[in-house]
Amino acid sequence: MFEKIRIEQPPMMAGRMPASIKFPQEENHDGSKCTSRRARNDSLGTEMIDSANQELEKLTQKLSELRRRS
């Protein structure tokens, strides 16, 4: 009734990517060069966390100031 279809996977999809693939160098937001996507994403994540922490610190200071007034 149904016939089996065998799908061959190309070598790249069957596991890891071949070591010969190189990602182009790109600049991070801070102007530094970055060769891997993972390192670039880590850098972006760190920037976002730092920014969020600064915003949290500002809001915490405002909150404690408002508590002191009341």
Indicate if the pLDDT at residue 43 is higher than 90. no
User: CB-based contacts of 36: which residues, under 8 Å, 6+ apart?
Assistant: 23
Distance (Å, whole) CA 50 – CA 36 = 21
The yes-or-no verdict on residue 52 having pLDDT over 80 is: yes
Q: What is the mean pLDDT of residues 31-37?
A: 63
Q: Where are the domains of the chain?
A: 26-62
Q: Is pLDDT of 10 > 80?
A: no
Say yes or no to pLDDT of 64 above 80. yes
Does the model's pTM come out above 0.85?
A: no
